[in-house]
Structure 1
Amino acid sequence: MAKHDGSDEKWSQDVTEHSDALDLDDDVFTWDDPARIAASLKRSAESSRRRKGSAYQSAMSMLTFYVNRAGTNLPASQRDVLERAKDELRKAFGRD
């Protein structure tokens, strides 16, 4: 078994902060307005030239990634905001 050196302890935070797909607004996932979060993710995804999928796929993937990686450390109230942001994102891309 390989010895754990601690170098990958915060890999998900690094992905969130330095993703090749999107340049995110600071602290976007801590905001309390689902529509604002969705609008920011949409804007970031549409302006990115490094994404591999559609703007919708990139924005939704980043949001889902954050929710999943936060796991039990994400307060229920913020999880609810982010789940509602998914609905807002679907609306913003005409996928409701």
Structure 2
Amino acid sequence: MSHGAPKKTATRKKATTKRWSQRVTQESDALDLKRGVFTLRDPKRIAASLKRSAERSSRRKAGAYRSALSMLTFYINRAGKTLPKTQRERLERAKSELKRQFGRE
């Protein structure tokens, strides 16, 4: 005799599981980001855009700094090995700049 609910098996299509990060970005309490923010060349502009989006957002559940940093980290992690080294370095510098702009150095 089994206790509790029966175990469910994964029945999703492969296409659905491949796009989990897109679904998270669209349906979660994620920030509404400016299009192309992660492709900007200047870490200061990336940080400023993330800060502006976080401060204006009515969907975020955490503080503005934490939300902005989370979106940047989420993007870096989602891109994984496909992110060119130069862009990864730029985004890592944007993290430091974000800390500075929020006065968290």
- State the TM-score, normalized to the length of structure 1: 0.90
Number of aligned residue pairs: give it.
Answer: 96
Q: CA RMSD in A?
A: 1.6
DSSP-derived class of the 1:7 partner: helix
Percentage of identical aligned residues: 62
Name the SS of the counterpart of 2:18 in structure 1: coil
Greater RCO structure (CA 8 Å; 6+ sep): 1
* Residue 2 of structure 2 is aligned to residue 2 of structure 1: no
Bigger Cα displacement from structure 2, 56-65 vs 18-27: 18-27
- Paired residue type of 1:26: R
- Contact 2:37–2:49 (CA<8 Å) still a contact in 1? yes
Deviation at 1:14, TM superposition (A): 3.8
| Gaps in structure 2 of 5+ consecutive residues | 1-8
Deviation per residue, 1:43-69 (Å, 9 max, x gap): 000001111100000000000011011
| Contact map agreement 1:17 1:24 (CA 8 A) in 2 | no
Larger radius of gyration: 2
1:26 to 2:35 alignment: yes
Ranges of 4+ aligned residues in structure 1 off by more than 2 Å = 1-4, 13-21
Equivalent residues of 2:43, 2:90 under 8 A apart: yes
Unaligned 5+ runs, structure 1: none
